[in-house]
Amino acid sequence: MTLATTASAAPKYKVLHAFSGGAGGGGLWGSLLPDQQGNLYGTTSGGGAYGQGTVFELTPGSHGRWTETVLHSFPSFPNDGQGPTSSLILDTTGDLFGTTLGGGDHDSGVAFELAHDSWAESILYNFCAEPKCSDGGSPYAGLVGDNAGNLYGTAGAVFELLPASDGWEEVVLHNFTCHGDDGCDPYAGTILDAVGNLYGTTEHGGTSRLCGGGCGTAYEVEPTSASWEEDILHDFGTGNDDMAFPGVGALALDSLGNLYGTAGGGESRAGVVFRLTRGPDGIWKTPSSMPSGGAQTEADLARAWSSTKPAIFRAPPSPGEIRSAAVAWSTSSRAEPKASGPIPSCIPSWAATVPSPTPTSSLTARAISTAPPSPAAQAATASPSNSHSNLPS
């Protein structure tokens, strides 16, 4: 695990922690999540006490030393998740949320929560619970949360998880068809803007025939009065020296409403950093890639980074709060008019004051035992078929 200095200075790296693949975990795919005290949180896809990944914390100490603490090893109980490749997010109580690629009731991954007071895990949702996995399965990316405590992500589809009095409910917002101009394989997660629109990319799909199965898309999923609708913002591989295969990295949104990301291809075929800008006519446009170097490029990227730091989102309400308020968790209740002009970022600054919510109890879909699994249970939860070795290149 390394950190670098700013782009304007000569690159200097310092190893904070070297993972061995043993009990401390190994195989890092997602980004690190910092908290307000300077601790870092992340996941490994392998290693840990049971060999199928960990959630870990890195704590800074004296003389520049960092200490790793394994908060959870997968699978710690029968049908626990396995092989997380996602980044994590925090809510205002300090609970961590993420996903796993495999494991769960249907061996197609789970969404999970780790409670800050004890780091006990709750399974929020088991993917592939519906026929033909119409609810999605095997999420590579993590989650994003809004100010109402709802969670969003991708698992072959764009989904929403809504807290309810008896657990969590999943709603599929868009199922990718892999036909026509629609995308396919949404390995990257989504981001939210200030009015509740979701943005992301797909690795394949779109209309280009240069890549075989399409070169990928950038898309928006927006709430309407009755449902959610998808708009294709960019069809990769359709222009001269255009990009292809935007991969597993989530987009970044700056305060002016521009979107930034990375993809393969480009003029040198060695990959690009790109920017998508909405024009006055509502059409999103991009050059083949951003210019390399220069003050303007660095300023653009710095603005996007500062606007998309990991969010501290409002903790989900407790079951009692839901019952007393008789909240109707429906997609139509949160629909808002589409913004015109630049879209401000909704992600709060780390310096912003976050209100302290009423302490919440864990909302679980089923009872959880944190005891290590028996040998028979470990055999029943063997390595998931979707291991991290199958990640897209």
Quick check: 121 and 369 in contact, CB under 8 A?
A: no
| Confidence at residue 350, expressed as pLDDT on a 0 to 100 scale | 24
Residue 390's pLDDT is 41
**Burial of 61 (C-beta count, 10 Å sphere; 0-12/13-18/19+):** exposed
Q: What is the pLDDT of residue 345?
A: 31
What's the pLDDT score for residue 283?
Answer: 83
Contacts of residue 202, defined as CB under 8 A and 6 or more positions apart, other chains included, come to: 176, 183, 184, 185, 186, 187, 188, 216, 217, 219, 246
pLDDT at 365: 29
Output the pLDDT for position 292.
44
pTM of structure? 0.75
Would you state the pLDDT for residue 304?
A: 54
**CATH fold for the domain made of 2-390:** Neuraminidase (2.120.10)
Q: Are 203 and 217 in contact (CB under 8 A)?
A: no
Within 8 A by CB and 6+ apart from 261, the residues are 201, 218, 246, 249, 250, 251, 252, 273, 274, 276
Distance CA(182)–CA(229), nearest Å, equals 12
pLDDT profile of the chain (393 residues), mean per 10: 56 88 95 94 97 97 93 97 96 95 97 97 96 95 94 97 93 95 95 95 92 92 94 85 84 92 83 88 67 45 51 57 34 35 30 29 29 38 38 41
Tokens of 256: 């002016």
Which residues on adjacent β-strands are paired with residue 229?
222
The predicted structure's pLDDT at residue 269: 78
* DSSP-assigned letters across all residues of 338-375: PP-S-----PPPTTSPPP-PPP-----SS----SPPPH
